[in-house]
Amino acid sequence: TQLLEQSPQFLSIQEGENLTVYCNSSSVFSSLQWYRQEPGEGPVLLVTVVTGGEVKKLKRLTFQFGDARKDSSLHITAAQPGDTGLYLCASHQILHSGGYQKVTFGTGTKLQVIP
Amino acid sequence: GAVVSQHPSRVICKSGTSVKIECRSLDFQATTMFWYRQFPKQSLMLMATSNEGSKATYEQGVEKDKFLINHASLTLSTLTVTSAHPEDSSFYICSAKIGLAGDEQYFGPGTRLTVT
The verdict on a CB contact (< 8 Å) between B103 and A101 is yes
Cα dihedral B46/A73/A113/B6 (nearest 10)? -30
Confidence (pLDDT) at B103 = 61
Confidence (pLDDT) at B31 = 80
DSSP labels for B71-88?
Answer: EEETTEEEEEE-S--GGG
Between CA A88 and CA A45 the distance in angstroms is: 9
Strand partners, A109: A87
pLDDT tens digits, residue range A31-66? 889 999 998 899 998 998 989 999 999 999 999 999
pLDDT tens digits, residue range B63-79? 999 999 998 888 999 99
Main-chain phi, psi angles of A83, to 5 degrees: -80, -10
**Amino acid identity at A5:** E
Percent of all residues in chain A with a pLDDT value above 90, rounded to a whole number:
69
Query: What number is the average pLDDT over the span A12-35?
Result: 92
- Contact, A15 vs B81, CB < 8 A? no
Which of B41, B46, B108 is closest, CB to CB, to A42?
B108
pLDDT tens digits, residue range A87-100? 999 987 665 555 55
The residues of chain B scoring below 50 in pLDDT are: none
Q: How far is B46 from chain A (nearest CA, A)?
A: 7
The total of other beta-carbon atoms located within 10 Å of residue A78's CB is 10
